């Protein structure tokens, strides 16, 4: 029979708990870096030729990073877009319909 005695477990647990805030801050820093890289990939790769052609830049300029936040042991962050003047980006992504504000005729005046 093998008997194992762990000595100092309370001290080890306390040491790990004390490092928790620094670990969370390190995770937040890494996630924020990843979100910035994802934003760059979306703008340069997906919205500038690979999937959609770059026309006005409104959709690309709408891509924003929501920085990482910690709540307890959970860290969340996101990259989102299609807000403000680039509302049409949501139609590209999710589909939908809208009512045109002016009548379209045979010639363009806009």
> Is the pTM for the entire model greater than 0.75?
no
Residue ranges making up the domain that contains 15: 9-94
Structural domain contains residue 109: no
Does 87 fall in a domain? yes
DSSP bridge partners of 78: 66
Q: Is residue 37 part of a domain?
A: yes
pLDDT tens digits along 10-40: 888 888 888 888 989 999 999 999 999 999 9
- How far apart are alpha carbons 34 and 6 in whole angstroms? 39
How many alpha carbons fall within 13 Å on the CB side of residue 102?
7
54-104 pLDDT tens trace: 777 788 888 889 999 999 888 999 998 877 777 777 777 777 777 766 655
Name the β-bridge partners of 7.
Answer: none
- C-alpha span between 68 and 58 (Å, rounded): 25
Per-residue pLDDT at 103: 59
> Which residues fall within 8 angstroms of residue 38, CB to CB, at 6 or more apart?
65, 79
Q: Structurally, how many domains does the chain consist of?
A: 1
């Amino acid at each position: 029979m093998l008997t194992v005695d762990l000595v100092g477990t309370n001290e080890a647990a306390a040491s790990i708990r004390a490092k928790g805030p620094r670990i969370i801050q390190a995770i937040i820093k890494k996630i924020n870096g990843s979100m910035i890289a994802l934003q760059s990939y979306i703008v340069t790769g997906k919205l500038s030729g690979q999937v959609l052609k770059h026309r006005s830049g409104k959709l690309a300029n709408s891509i924003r990073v929501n920085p990482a936040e910690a709540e307890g042991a959970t860290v969340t962050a996101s990259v989102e877009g299609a807000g403000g003047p680039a509302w049409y980006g949501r139609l590209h992504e999710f589909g939908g319909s809208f009512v045109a504000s002016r009548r379209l005729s045979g010639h363009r005046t806009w």
